[in-house]
Structure 1
Amino acid sequence: MEGGKPIFHRMYVCFAALKKGFIQGCRPVVGLDGCHIKGPHPGQLLCAIGIDANNGMYPIAYAIVEIENRCTWTWFLEILVNDLRIDNGLSWVFMSDKHKGLLRAVEDLVPSVEHKHCVCVRHLYNNFKKGHNGMALKQILWEAARATTIPGFKAHMLGWKLKMEVQ
């Protein structure tokens, strides 16, 4: 309550069927991300995504919070770690980019989890396109990012190298 008026604070959602499916059939890998909610009710959407047996994305949980910071990530992760029954993080991997407060929240709550940092391909492309105009880089970069094997990735990167030599 704020001045006698109810104010929305936070909301966590983890459907029982998704939680059970993740625990029973997915890899111990959790992707963590956040994004802005725009419009008349702004805030942040925090989410946890798993990887299923077919290398597909598997939704685990999400939360709507007032702002993205260490406090809100800690709140989200405390509930998530409890839901997924992560007693010790030795067999778990968390993947994220370097969101505000997320690094410290993971260190505080599950210090033994392996925490890997990813870079969004779109952001990577935006950094590269300043020096390389045209769609060639974008196409090759996305093909390399989607490669599911090391030989496939190397083939796409070789294509990029050859294309650069021609220019």
Structure 2
Amino acid sequence: MSITKVKDYFKSFGVEDKVIELDQSSATVELAAEAIGCDPERIAKTLSFLVDGKGIVVVVAGDAKIDNRKYREEFHEKAKMIPAEEVETIVGHAPGGVCPFAINEDVEVYLDISLKRFSTVYPAAGSGNSAIKLNLMELEKYSNPRKWVDVCKCWIENQ
């Protein structure tokens, strides 16, 4: 089970107790925000894409959407999400629980700047009813991103 894999991953940092197992689904931004009791934009959703035939994940704020122009400028190809039935095989977590922790070794992580306006965010923790509250330094430490990117829209006023 992915949540077990994520807890084991966090055990190596001594923070496995920070993983929150919820009584209700957190598989979407709206459900996660309701279950946790936070604003939807503070849910750090992890989106999975194929770049050069290889899986990547981009962690973005709950109210952000991929901007195709920015994405193409960053990754030099059109945004192509991994088909739902292939996400678990490629990334290591099933849809609804995809997170940047304890993922398959060849999957690169990117963090979007839409997250930088929050002191804490809530990414999933490997299952459709889990999360973990992290500050941005912790998110960066535990997700080990390749880099921060600017590939989203709809989170800045008047955009």
Fold in common (TM above 0.5): no
Greater helix content: 1
Instruction: Please identify the structure whose Cα radius of gyration is greater.
Output: 1
TM-score (normalised: structure 1)? 0.31
Select the structure with the greater relative contact order (CA < 8 A; seq sep ≥ 6).
2
